[in-house]
Amino acid sequence: MKAKPLPRAGVFVSLLLFGLAGVCSAEDFNYVVNPPRVQVSADAIPNGLPFCRSASLGSIICYSPQFVRTAYNFPKNLDGTGQTILIVDAFGSPTIREDLAAFDQLFGIPDPPSFTILCPEGCPSSSFNNKHHDVLGWAFETSLDVEYAHAMAPGASIVLVVAATSSGNAINVVESKAIELFPGSVMSQSFGIPEHLIHGNNNQVMQAEKNYAAAQAARITVLASAGDFGATNGISTANANFPASDPLVTAVGGTQGLPYIRLGTNDSCPSGHTCSSGLSTFTGPCVVGRTVPPNCAPVGYGAEQVWNEPVFGAATGGAPSLLFGVPGYQAGLGLTARTTPDVSYNAAINGGVLVFTSFLGSPALFIIGGTSAGSPQWASIFALVNECRASLGLGPRGFANPTIYSLAGAGFHDITVGDNKLVGTPVGFPAAPSWDDATGWGTPDVADLVPRLAGATCP
């Protein structure tokens, strides 16, 4: 008997759709991705940042890779050289090679040392008309994952691991092969299924558990997005998303800028002032509105709060697991179960990242948000960690959660404002000092955090 699909509350704006959800049957479940997105005008580049223009929304905050790198203080002495990032997606994108090259040219990013598309069961050729598996949503996800994993660690090799379909079985099969082929790598999973939908169906979970144990043995760091539907995934009780909830996976939650700049804002930054677009700061005089061409460049970190955008019907996942007990690294936090997330990253839609696509027939820029954006960029951070360790003759970090929790928040921006109560649902968790089940330990100050995660001073 098939379970009812997760309700998909919210509004559609242009091609705005919603993120992590899932359905299941007695035999299998499907991972579903549909990262929240808004198409924007091409005049966002090169001088339209941090505001972009949408036909439906007017002015909307948008960030280039350089804005994000500056805000999160990515180091200039590390770029992931010698490391490999595995991006796992179903279906992939028919234009991903061309789109990555165009994205790199647009933002002045060097090509990756190598970009491999690995299809252990054969590369799929499914049509965007396949609504059941939402092949179009996976194409957007693929573009986001590949482009931003590369942008944040341009010296790392990228391997796009493509499953023939979005079932748990298919994902598990390709991950098993990738783990075998690429020991010491970093693996990103921007997909998930609410745990309340997989009761009575443990085969895929057990297969995934075997993979994550193999990854741990191969010193592979495994990450997953925590979800886009708040603490409850649209129902009345809290539940986490799998595989983010797995104790061997680092779960990535979502944040947004503080202050959260409302849609349609026009503004300017006076001379001698430091102004904020939420996530990032910039120094005046410069213009951040739409009345004249904007010309603000980022100079540093702004501030953040829990990602929760009622206008889009979306909020970060983060909740106790229904499947897993408290792991050792979370002991002492007063928890009753494995609880996500472990870390967080910018996930706002009004404050999202710019992604280049052409698979719809013509070149297009989209602002994309959701916790989908965080997992591949955290994968890049761990590529920098592994590069640092390799330069000192040390092996890759591998399973990272014990190290993350041992830092007790050092190297993180502690998020203390907001909650992940999805609009229309009764339960959510507030941000609080130190670890919390809305944002985990918070977001990275990358240059400070990398040597802490590496356990060594980087050259």
Per-residue model confidence (pLDDT) at position 22: 36
Band of pLDDT at residue 161, cut at 50, 70 and 90: very high
For 358-395, give the DSSP string. -TTSS-EEEEE-SGGGHHHHHHHHHHHHHHHHHHTTPP
Length of the chain: 459
Q: For residues 171-210, b (16+ Cβ closer than 10 Å) or e, as one string?
A: bbbbbbebbebbbbbbbbbbbbbbbbbbeebeebbebbbe
Band of pLDDT at residue 286, cut at 50, 70 and 90: confident
Q: H helices within 57-167, ranges in order?
A: 65-71, 96-107, 135-152
Lowest mean pLDDT among 55-59, 290-294, 420-424: 290-294
Higher pLDDT, 14 or 36: 36
User: Is the pLDDT reported for residue 8 higher than 70?
Assistant: no
Q: Report the mean per-residue pLDDT for the chain.
A: 89
Residue range 39-90, pLDDT digits in tens: 987 665 655 567 787 878 877 888 999 999 999 999 999 999 999 999 999 9
Band of pLDDT at residue 6, cut at 50, 70 and 90: very low
Per-residue model confidence (pLDDT) at position 56: 80
User: Is the pLDDT reported for residue 296 higher than 80?
Assistant: no
User: Is the pLDDT reported for residue 216 higher than 50?
Assistant: yes
Per-residue model confidence (pLDDT) at position 53: 79
Per-residue model confidence (pLDDT) at position 58: 78
Lowest mean pLDDT among 69-78, 122-131, 312-321: 122-131
In contact, 17 and 39? CB cutoff 8 Å: no
User: Is the pLDDT reported for residue 3 higher than 80?
Assistant: no
For 21-38+78-252+315-454, which CATH superfamily applies?
Peptidase S8/S53 domain (3.40.50.200)
Cα 246–chain centre separation: 17
Lowest mean pLDDT among 50-54, 195-199, 352-356, 373-377: 50-54
d(CA 96, CA 124): 14
Per-residue model confidence (pLDDT) at position 27: 55
Per-residue model confidence (pLDDT) at position 42: 67
Per-residue model confidence (pLDDT) at position 129: 65
Residue range 165-180, pLDDT digits in tens: 999 999 999 999 999 9
Q: Token pair of 390, please?
A: 């390799």
Residue range 239-281, pLDDT digits in tens: 999 999 999 999 999 999 998 887 766 567 888 888 888 898 8
Alpha carbons within 13 angstroms on the beta-carbon side of residue 1 total: 4
How far is the CA of 91 from the CAs of 77, 94, 143, 304, 398, in angstroms? 35, 9, 12, 34, 27
| Cα-Cα-Cα-Cα dihedral sign, residues 315, 192, 88, 403 | positive
The reported pTM is: 0.92
Q: Tell me which residue of 52, 152, 35 sits closest to 103, measured CA to CA.
A: 152
Higher pLDDT, 439 or 16: 439
Per-residue model confidence (pLDDT) at position 34: 83
Q: What percent of the chain has pLDDT over 90?
A: 74
d(CA 138, CA 32): 8
Per-residue model confidence (pLDDT) at position 131: 57
Residue range 95-113, pLDDT digits in tens: 999 999 999 999 999 999 9
Per-residue model confidence (pLDDT) at position 283: 84
DSSP helix/strand/coil, 242? strand
